[in-house]
Structure 1
Amino acid sequence: MTTDLSSPGTTDTGSTTAGGGKRLRPPFGVSAVSLLAVLIALFSLIPLGYVAYMTVATGWDTAVELIFRPRVGELLLNTVMLTVITVPLCLVLGAGGAWLVERTTLRGHRWWAVALAAPLAIPAFVNSYSWVSAIPSLEGIWSGVLIATLSYFPLVYIPAAAALGRLDPAIEQSAASLGLGPWAVFFRVVLPQLRIALTGGALLVSLHLLAEYGAFAMIRFDTFTTAIMVQFQSTFNGTAGNMLASVLVFLCLILLLAEVKSRGTARYARIGSGAPAKATRLPLRHYQLPAQLSLTAVTVLAFGVPVWFVLRWIIAGGTEVWAADEFLPALLQTLMYGAVGAAVTTVVAFPMAYLAVRRPSGFSKLLELSNYVTSSLPGIVVGLAFVTVTIRAVPGIYQTAGVLVAAYVLLFLPRALVNLRSGLAQAPKELDEAAQSLGKAPLTSFVRVTLRLTAPAAAGGAALVFLAIVNELTATLLLSPNGTRTLATEFWSKSSEIDYSGAAPYALLMILLSAPMTYLLFQQSKKVAGQ
């Protein structure tokens, strides 16, 4: 085995290994890849730089006056209460559903495995639209909790189910053999091993709660995001809105730090040779009916109600709502932005993924972290940052398609990065070495070997980015060029005018586009779990 001692900032000129073969040379200089990664990381820090700059430019006295006022306290209370109530409910539904599907004799567990992930295909603002259709008086924090819980619990369920699939059940069997009952085994053995999956899911739910605009605006529940949008629409990037954005960013950073802290230092990996034991499913017996009824209720509320009311409004609107000159441009522009944004994001993520896998170091981890921090920020903050920067620095590109795609890249880069990193890790560099030893140029061997092996993972990452762009609303509302019509913005325009029949086709198209991508996400999680 050879050891590559080249640093991330240097290129290998083809020195020989101990065995006489040529050492792997990258298809382009590592310094060039590092430079690209640094530029991408700096670009991704634009939103944080914007928040810091606006806070300083506002002045300390004015900033304190705007931040420490009753309105901010009201928004903070709403946000904290929403998070404190919704996240535990999502954890209970997500972890409980995953345990029933993966560890019990639940009838139809394979069907339920997909059904519990299905609500993720419905955007939260479409969910809100459906529930407002069912109960027009819906408003306030409890309505927000209802809609947010039904929209986001799959973010806990999917990683929890994948983690349960990876766990070696021999640990549970050993605990049972020592006299622990089923509930004691779950709480003392299984649940601690789900810590990383549950804290990660809780973080995703919390960040979605901070970022969501459409779902809460529709039920007239004020959050930082809805208040910032109101400020922007009334004063166009006013100082008060910028200070609200700074508080929102601060909350996001607190959540990130809390999640990192909550992971702990315990190890959950299985060490040793041999295959894991086969899981023994816990018999439900007389709990079978309550389990079936509970999962049915959750699925009907989270998936059945939205789909039912979307179809009901379509039927009520008749054939007029399917006027091609209205919905066809929105569909085509959504597909165009989704495809271009997914392709650009995947290409931009590649230098970072390459460094993380082929040249791992503290430097590459730092660059990668910068992208995760930015992607955790709400779309409205990223949108405001691009509005401010383009107007003040390069007004010629304000409200152009390129700026909107750039915002999509910053928001959804980790979705492509995680998949690319996984794909590159499964493409052994020794195959590149073998191709180069046969006389192939580094770039040729890279394209024919590494890129070919990485292509499925890249396609999966691009699909997830596409899904996110299709359902993105706030940044698109702020940055889209005049005349732009996407499914999300057209749905929002018509639903804001109480034209629920006119909005229904756009909602249905978003669900139909999202469903295959949601299934892909679910299948990827099961693949990681080794199932």
Structure 2
Amino acid sequence: MRTSSFVTKHPSPSLPTHALKWLGGSGRSARPPWFLVLMALVTAAAMVLPLSHLVVRAAGAGVLELWAIIARPLTLEVIFNTLGLGLAATFFSALIAIPLAFLTVRTDLPGRRFWLIATTLPLAVPTYVGSFALISAFGPRGSIVQMLLQPLGIERLPSIYGWFGVITATTLFTFPYLLLSVRAGLIGMDPSTEEAARSLGHSPYSTFLRVTLPQLRPSIAAGSLLVALYAIQDFGTPALMQFDSFTRVIFTQYRSGFNRNLAAALALVLVAIVLGILWLEYRTRTRAAYYTRRSGSGLLTPPVALGRWRWPALFFCTIVVLLSLVMPVGVILFWLFRSTLFGGLGYTTYQSVPLWQICLNSLYGAGLAALVATVFALPIAILSVRFPGRWTTLLERCSYIGFGTPGIVVALALVFFGANYTPWIYQQMPMLVFAYMVLFLPQAVGTVRGSLLQVNPNLEESARSLGRTPWQTLRQITLPLVQPGVLSGAMLIFLTAIKELPATLLLAPIGFRTLAMQIWQATAEDAAFADAAAAALLILLVSAGSTLIILSQERRTVTQARPNS
């Protein structure tokens, strides 16, 4: 039997030997455990349900009505706005993230460790919290800057709403997705190609443009995809910045319009745009090949001396951190201090709901989402790794439907489904958790699958040969070995769920308020910045803690994976 931990490049389409022995069977009669298959089928059906119901709902309007909706000028304008936002946010995020990644990984930047963490922490700032900070700091009236300039006779500042505000907010709080991807690409890159370029007389600048940057194309493409999808699917920032993207128009149509078919048709157009972007990225990724004969992990690269560029680099890093991290935290603390002076800390102005109760609701909802999504992700990850085949691949692909489906679309589909077919759970906690599972399950599948690929199947084979049942093997051997991936996936889902806004607004039980709902209502509807400050600070602290935990686990995994020097 082959005991190597490496995966063959061209796997056989038949059932792998380790899968047979993991099952304790032999030959073609071996099958995956029935409980894994059953849970995977239920999960796949759950992932497909919202989108399929949305298709049926939109089809009920008729082809002519659907075409009239899509071809009308307002829809075309919204398509232009949405695509323009995605492209602009991705472009400006690249201008920030690529230099930051190179400075914090490959140069002698002073305080490089500090900047590495400080430039990543904006990932913990929800975009709607960052938008709230921008509006309250630089808004035309009632903002901090306007109040400071009022003694000079300035009653109104230039408007921050619209294109400028939505692109600025989206860029400042999504560039860490691209930064992490490019940074990982730099760390894993084989430095021998750069050394060869330098030995041939290329300057550091020429080496970066002609050698380093081309090798980073896969990492840049992956990070840019995350930024573009986040920008297109985001609801809070367009809503606060009064920008007509698809998410805001769909939500407005659902709340104020009487034609639900229009909202369903717009939602399908948005899904088509997202799936089109995913298809283009997939085609580009599969046609590209960037590899070397050895891995760069663990190889030390001499840092590039910045020389006279040290101070401009420090200035660049400082400006980015000030705008994306210090500014939102400072604005939140300002309004929190102001609300404390007026006795408003601890209670909201909406039905006098205690803030601690709102915080517990957020923790409860996000915790349930992390638990449920992780449990249902395990069977799909195990089947895709240990029992590769046509059907298990199909089940895995179905689990990723939620990745390409915006939260507003999933929420809209579940509203239709719940109101018509399952009224007993409509606007109840199970439906909200179900929406979270559909949206965030791919995150758990990816992390668990990555951990399972690193587990030697011989350990599971040994357990089966000693008489353990498939369930005992899963519980006693597999799950403990993939525990880091499971915890990382659960924490990532928790971090994402506690910041989720559109599905929570539409599906939350009556009287169930979360920190995200509190921030959105206080800023978007009432412009009550002081009421949003405490909730924003709490969600920022929770998100920052979750982000640091994820980063520490990734750093521990990289350290354990490096060969001993």
**Which TM bucket (shorter chain)?**
over 0.9
Equivalent residues in 2 for 1:367-378, closer than 5 Å: 367-378=395-406
1:168 is paired with a residue of what secondary structure?
Answer: coil
- Which deviates further from its counterpart, 384-393 or 519-528? 519-528
Counterpart of 1:238, as a letter, is R
2: CA distance, partners of 1:169 / 1:524: 25
**Is the 8 Å Cα contact of residues 162 and 526 (structure 1) preserved in structure 2?**
no
**CA 1:302–1:289 in 2, change beyond 3 Å: closer, same or farther?**
same
| Equivalent position to 2:521, from 471, 493, 503 | 493
Equivalent residues in 2 for 1:4-23, closer than 5 Å: 6=15, 14-15=24-25
2:484 is paired with a residue of what secondary structure?
Answer: helix
**CA 1:425–1:300 in 2, change beyond 3 Å: closer, same or farther?**
same
2: CA distance, partners of 1:192 / 1:516: 35
| Equivalent position to 1:279, from 301, 318, 323 | 301
2: CA distance, partners of 1:491 / 1:237: 29
Name the counterpart of 2:546. Answer: 517
2:221 is equivalent to residue 199 of structure 1: yes
- Unaligned 5+ runs, structure 1: 18-22
2:410 is equivalent to residue 410 of structure 1: no
Name the counterpart of 1:292. Answer: 314
2:276 is equivalent to residue 254 of structure 1: yes
Kindly state the Cα deviation for residue 454 of structure 1 after the two structures are TM-superposed.
Answer: 1.4
Kindly state the Cα deviation for residue 75 of structure 1 after the two structures are TM-superposed.
Answer: 1.0
**Is the 8 Å Cα contact of residues 33 and 470 (structure 2) preserved in structure 1?**
no
Query: What percent identity do the matched residue pairs reach?
Result: 34
Name the counterpart of 1:20. Answer: none
Name the counterpart of 2:50. Answer: 47
**CA 1:272–1:194 in 2, change beyond 3 Å: closer, same or farther?**
closer
2:110 is equivalent to residue 107 of structure 1: yes
2: CA distance, partners of 1:441 / 1:56: 47
**Is the 8 Å Cα contact of residues 522 and 529 (structure 2) preserved in structure 1?**
yes
Tell me the alpha carbon deviations over residues 360-384 of structure 1, each in whole angstroms, 9 at most, x when there is no partner.
Answer: 2343233222222322211000000
**CA 1:208–1:6 in 2, change beyond 3 Å: closer, same or farther?**
closer
TM-score (norm 2): 0.87
Tell me the alpha carbon deviations over residues 424-468 of structure 1, each in whole angstroms, 9 at most, x when there is no partner.
Answer: 223322122223434444433432222111122111110010001
Equivalent residues in 2 for 1:468-479, closer than 5 Å: 468-479=496-507
2: CA distance, partners of 1:456 / 1:528: 9
- Which deviates further from its counterpart, 305-314 or 166-175? 166-175
Name the counterpart of 1:88. Answer: 91
Name the counterpart of 1:322. Answer: 346
Tell me the alpha carbon deviations over residues 190-247 of structure 1, each in whole angstroms, 9 at most, x when there is no partner.
Answer: 1122222211111111111111111121121111110111111112662221221111
2:435 is equivalent to residue 425 of structure 1: no
1:498 is paired with a residue of what secondary structure?
Answer: coil
Name the counterpart of 2:426. Answer: 398
**Is the 8 Å Cα contact of residues 332 and 533 (structure 2) preserved in structure 1?**
yes
Equivalent residues in 2 for 1:42-191, closer than 5 Å: 42-137=45-140, 138-191=160-213
Q: CA RMSD in A?
A: 2.5
1: CA distance, partners of 2:24 / 2:398: 33
- Unaligned 5+ runs, structure 2: 4-11, 141-159
**Is the 8 Å Cα contact of residues 491 and 503 (structure 1) preserved in structure 2?**
yes
Tell me the alpha carbon deviations over residues 345-400 of structure 1, each in whole angstroms, 9 at most, x when there is no partner.
Answer: 00000111001211123432332222223222110000001111122222222111
**CA 1:426–1:63 in 2, change beyond 3 Å: closer, same or farther?**
same
2: CA distance, partners of 1:477 / 1:91: 32
**Is the 8 Å Cα contact of residues 362 and 498 (structure 2) preserved in structure 1?**
yes
- Which deviates further from its counterpart, 483-492 or 266-275? 266-275
Kindly state the Cα deviation for residue 261 of structure 1 after the two structures are TM-superposed.
Answer: 2.0
1: CA distance, partners of 2:228 / 2:324: 18
**Is the 8 Å Cα contact of residues 139 and 221 (structure 1) preserved in structure 2?**
yes
2:482 is paired with a residue of what secondary structure?
Answer: helix
- Which deviates further from its counterpart, 446-455 or 196-205? 446-455
2: CA distance, partners of 1:121 / 1:183: 32
1:321 is paired with a residue of what secondary structure?
Answer: coil
**Is the 8 Å Cα contact of residues 177 and 227 (structure 2) preserved in structure 1?**
yes
Counterpart of 2:195, as a letter, is Q
Name the counterpart of 1:504. Answer: 533
Tell me the alpha carbon deviations over residues 108-166 of structure 1, each in whole angstroms, 9 at most, x when there is no partner.
Answer: 11111111111011100010111101111311101111111101000100111111111
Name the counterpart of 1:389. Answer: 417
1:180 is paired with a residue of what secondary structure?
Answer: coil
**CA 1:35–1:443 in 2, change beyond 3 Å: closer, same or farther?**
closer
Kindly state the Cα deviation for residue 11 of structure 1 after the two structures are TM-superposed.
Answer: 7.2
Name the counterpart of 1:231. Answer: 253
2: CA distance, partners of 1:211 / 1:442: 40
2: CA distance, partners of 1:402 / 1:84: 36
Counterpart of 1:108, as a letter, is G
1: CA distance, partners of 2:296 / 2:278: 37
Aligned residue pairs: how many? 523
2: CA distance, partners of 1:404 / 1:30: 30
Tell me the alpha carbon deviations over residues 9-54 of structure 1, each in whole angstroms, 9 at most, x when there is no partner.
Answer: x97773579xxxxx9x99xx43442343233222211232133212
**CA 1:360–1:6 in 2, change beyond 3 Å: closer, same or farther?**
closer
Kindly state the Cα deviation for residue 518 of structure 1 after the two structures are TM-superposed.
Answer: 1.4
TM-score (norm 1): 0.93
Counterpart of 1:257, as a letter, is W
2: CA distance, partners of 1:76 / 1:466: 31
Name the counterpart of 1:356. Answer: 384
Name the counterpart of 1:467. Answer: 495
**Is the 8 Å Cα contact of residues 50 and 385 (structure 1) preserved in structure 2?**
yes
1:443 is paired with a residue of what secondary structure?
Answer: helix
**Is the 8 Å Cα contact of residues 336 and 345 (structure 2) preserved in structure 1?**
yes
Kindly state the Cα deviation for residue 524 of structure 1 after the two structures are TM-superposed.
Answer: 4.7
Tell me the alpha carbon deviations over residues 314-335 of structure 1, each in whole angstroms, 9 at most, x when there is no partner.
Answer: 0000142223952111111111
- Which deviates further from its counterpart, 125-134 or 235-244? 235-244
1:484 is paired with a residue of what secondary structure?
Answer: coil
Name the counterpart of 2:232. Answer: 210
1: CA distance, partners of 2:225 / 2:306: 31
Equivalent residues in 2 for 1:430-449, closer than 5 Å: 430-449=458-477
**CA 1:172–1:361 in 2, change beyond 3 Å: closer, same or farther?**
farther
**Is the 8 Å Cα contact of residues 188 and 296 (structure 2) preserved in structure 1?**
no
2:424 is paired with a residue of what secondary structure?
Answer: helix
1:263 is paired with a residue of what secondary structure?
Answer: helix
Counterpart of 1:424, as a letter, is L
Equivalent residues in 2 for 1:338-349, closer than 5 Å: 338-349=366-377
**CA 1:43–1:476 in 2, change beyond 3 Å: closer, same or farther?**
same
2:60 is paired with a residue of what secondary structure?
Answer: helix
